[in-house]
Homo-oligomer: A and B are copies of this chain.
């Protein structure tokens, strides 16, 4: 069974418990039996081969093999601060950024933003992160950070490289920026764009405006394009 299962609770020494939907999916949908081999991860960057040890109502106990260290530590640490789109576009944004290896998605509170990062929206996004991680083989969860305004972000987030997507900017995003171990922070505004005040304040705070080509990209497209260009570090 090559499917991956998420451990909501970090494992003890050599043992772990699958709970809730993860346990039910394994025991009822896939009809696992004691002795079956699966793979599990706890979102901290490690994966284990595991053997089903016991199947109980709503939980499955597994014995863990040797942990496999993830290669994700080699990737640039990218935080994308995004004025969230709504509905399916938000769901896609989370899935794609998780697949592409973005470290952290920070809901950006902007003048023209449309979607609020309520607690339930953040919980839904966190479930999306787990689902995407299971599917794409990523072992460290993408963090869904607390929402911030651009001002609070500029004051409180000490990234070495700070970029702000702004259509028509003279600076194009050419190749990789910074070293693999530098923190990169990139901000993407709402459908109507950042206001002139927001851009001016960001530039004053050390953000470099970058253009992403001649088309007006949707919010999720701009964020995904930045992730594709900034995370995937050439060796």
Contacts and interface: CB of A to CB of B under 8 A. Distances in A.
Interface-centre pick from A75, A135, A231, A232 (highest chain B CB count, 10 A): A232
B174 A234 contact: yes
A193 interface: no
A93 to B, nearest CB: 11
A174 B172 contact: no
A222 B52 CA distance: 34
Interface in A157-181: 172-176
Contacts of A229: 228-229, 232
A68 to B, nearest CB: 12
A232 B218 contact: no
A213 interface: yes
Interface string A220-233: 01001110110111
Interface stretch (A20-28, A31-39, A94-102): A94-102
Contacts of A151: none
A155 interface: no
Total copies of this chain within the assembly: 2
Nearest to A170: B235
Contacts of A10: none
A71 B168 CA distance: 12
A61 B122 CA distance: 48
A12 interface: no
A137 interface: yes
A145 to B, nearest CB: 20
Nearest to A92: B92
